[in-house]
């Protein structure tokens, strides 16, 4: 008979591994989309739709998946989800027309819903004091985006892009089998104690706090997904790198965005979700300010004649700033879900489904907007300009709903002493 501690960590490790593979699949078009774009002669907007469409399905399905997880348990829902993606993944290798890729991408996108299932499943195995850390470990599966950037380009160069979905389909089968054998059904669902109704679950949609958390997550996760999809293409277009070097440098953003999520969970347990999220947004805003500045040449008339200067981020400085923002996003993803485990301990699944849906929709909409902005303005850094504005709005919302009320409450607790003349 396995001990409770063994079950806890077996569930977390198996779920994190499964989520990593699901995220690899979800981000697949970030790499194979580049040769597909060339073969089909797609413009930037069409490329944005191609890479983002799997994110749409993975986002929309998160709410029902969260509800099913609360009702039936994470183990069975996660297992069935993985099995449902295997055939669509393989079919991508057979696609020849643009609409073929869009349709198969929609079905493959279901893999992105695994986050909502796994985060609620893992959280149920730990006490409230350790849920932030446990969810942070599970969230490290986001490194699947980096794994794809490291592995897929090598496969593309050696065997062609069609081999990538074939390899991933086999990996998904093996992962699903191992997941089933190394996980357990949590006690609440094993005893049939989970009796929450759909009506009760949907009550969270009326909660303005849930939507505020959704806004935060649309940045730290939606922005992470969007940039993970966009960066390989950005490095190729902006700096002229080949696909392998571009994907390797793009992984510099994706790796910390996943690996450091456990640290974000630990920080959130120790210092609180509000404090960590506030500083994450500020750091992101500063990074995006510098990333937004386009490559610029200007001429100054001097006493000795005109002189031309160039201002713009080189690839080294650009990568360092992206790496910094990747760290901030990783910590922020964990801190937002610490909010959820603190405020909604009994319906983590459905709340994380709503918040995850919002984050995923950010990951779907942003790449399309990135492509449209480049087609419209011709300025590649317009993607970062857009994100700068979104983060600024979120900071203002957070100030008005959390920081300012907290300051007023503290002022009432400690009124200024009376002064007599």
CATH number of the domain residue 320 falls in: 1.20.1250.20
- Of 123-137, 185-199, 312-326, the poorest mean pLDDT is in 185-199
Q: Per the domain annotation, does 157 fall within a domain? A: yes
List the domain range (segments joined by +) for residue 10: 4-177+205-298+309-408
In the numeric block, which tokens belong to residue 241? 């790198």
Is residue 348 over pLDDT 60?
yes
Q: Distance (Å, rounded) from C-alpha 222 to C-alpha 113?
A: 13
Q: Per the domain annotation, does 182 fall within a domain? A: no
Is residue 420 over pLDDT 60?
no
CA dihedral 404, 407, 411, 413 (to 10 degrees): 120
Q: Distance (Å, rounded) from C-alpha 50 to C-alpha 110?
A: 15
Q: Distance (Å, rounded) from C-alpha 234 to C-alpha 231?
A: 5
Check residue 417 and give left, alpha or beta (phi > 0: left; psi -120 to 50: alpha): beta
Residue bearing the bigger pLDDT, 127 or 158: 158
Is residue 343 over pLDDT 60?
yes
Q: Per the domain annotation, does 304 fall within a domain? A: no
pTM for the model stands at 0.73
Is residue 193 over pLDDT 50?
no
Q: Distance (Å, rounded) from C-alpha 363 to C-alpha 218?
A: 7
Residue 409 is predicted with a pLDDT of 61
Residue 17 is predicted with a pLDDT of 95
Q: Per the domain annotation, does 191 fall within a domain? A: no
Q: Residue 195 belongs to what H/E stretch?
A: none
Residue 136 is predicted with a pLDDT of 77
Is residue 156 over pLDDT 80?
yes
**What percent of the chain shows pLDDT beyond 70?**
90
Per-residue pLDDT of 304-325, as tens digits, reads 889 888 888 899 999 999 999 9
Residue 408 is predicted with a pLDDT of 67
Q: Per the domain annotation, does 413 fall within a domain? A: no
Residue 166 is predicted with a pLDDT of 96
Per-residue pLDDT of 349-374, as tens digits, reads 678 778 878 888 888 889 889 989 99
Beta bridge partners of 301: 306
DSSP code of 126? Answer: S
Backbone angles phi, psi at 387, to 5 degrees: -65, -35
Q: Per the domain annotation, does 193 fall within a domain? A: no
Total domains, the chain: 1
Per-residue pLDDT of 36-45, as tens digits, reads 999 999 988 8
Q: Distance (Å, rounded) from C-alpha 374 to C-alpha 45?
A: 8
CB 29 within 8 A of CB 105: yes
DSSP code of 73? Answer: -
Q: Per the domain annotation, does 9 fall within a domain? A: yes
| Alpha helices (H) along 27-127 | 29-40, 44-60, 62-72, 74-92, 98-108, 114-123
Q: Per the domain annotation, does 106 fall within a domain? A: yes
Is residue 385 over pLDDT 90?
yes
Start-to-end C-alpha separation, the chain: 76
Q: How many CB atoms lie within 10 A of CB 384?
A: 24
């Amino acid at each position: 008979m396995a001990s409770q501690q063994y079950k806890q960590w077996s569930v977390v490790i198996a779920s994190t591994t499964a989520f990593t593979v699901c995220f690899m699949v979800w981000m697949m078009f970030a790499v194979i989309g580049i040769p597909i774009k060339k073969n089909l002669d797609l413009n930037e907007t069409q490329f944005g739709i191609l890479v983002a469409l799997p994110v749409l399905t993975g986002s929309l399905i998160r709410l029902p998946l969260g509800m099913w997880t609360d009702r039936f348990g994470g183990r069975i829902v996660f297992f069935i989800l993985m099995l449902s993606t295997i055939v669509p993944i393989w079919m991508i290798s057979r696609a020849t027309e643009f609409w073929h890729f869009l349709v198969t991408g929609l079905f493959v996108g279901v893999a992105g819903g695994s986050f909502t299932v796994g985060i609620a499943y893992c959280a149920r195995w730990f006490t409230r004091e350790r849920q932030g850390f446990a969810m942070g470990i599970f969230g490290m599966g986001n490194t699947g985006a980096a794994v794809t950037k490291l592995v897929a380009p090598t496969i593309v160069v050696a065997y062609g892009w069609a081999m990538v979905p074939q390899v991933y389909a086999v990996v998904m089968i093996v992962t699903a089998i191992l997941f089933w054998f190394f996980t357990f059904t949590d006690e609440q669902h094993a005893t049939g104690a989970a009796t929450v109704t759909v009506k009760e679950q949907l009550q969270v949609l009326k909660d303005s706090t849930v939507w505020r958390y959704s806004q935060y997550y649309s940045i730290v996760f939606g922005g992470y997904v969007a940039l993970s999809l966009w960066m390989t293409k950005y490095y190729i277009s902006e700096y002229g790198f080949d696909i392998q070097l571009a994907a390797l440098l793009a992984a510099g953003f994706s790796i910390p965005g996943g690996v450091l999520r456990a640290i974000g969970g630990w920080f959130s347990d120790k210092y609180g979700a509000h404090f960590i999220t506030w500083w994450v947004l500020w750091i992101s805003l500063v990074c995006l300010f510098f990333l937004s500045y386009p490559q610029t040449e200007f001429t100054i008339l001097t006493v000795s004649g005109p002189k031309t200067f160039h201002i713009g981020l080189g690839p080294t400085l650009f990568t360092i700033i992206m790496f910094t923002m990747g760290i901030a996003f990783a910590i922020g993803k964990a801190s937002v879900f610490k909010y959820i485990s603190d405020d909604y301990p009994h319906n983590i699944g459905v709340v994380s489904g709503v918040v995850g849906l919002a984050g995923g929709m950010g990951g779907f909409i942003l790449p399309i907007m990135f492509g449209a902005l480049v087609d419209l303005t011709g300025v590649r850094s317009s993607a970062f300009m857009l994100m700068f504005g979104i983060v600024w709005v979120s900071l203002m919302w957070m100030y008005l709903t959390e920081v300012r009320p907290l300051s007023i409450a503290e002022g009432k607790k400690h009124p200024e002493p009376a002064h007599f003349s």
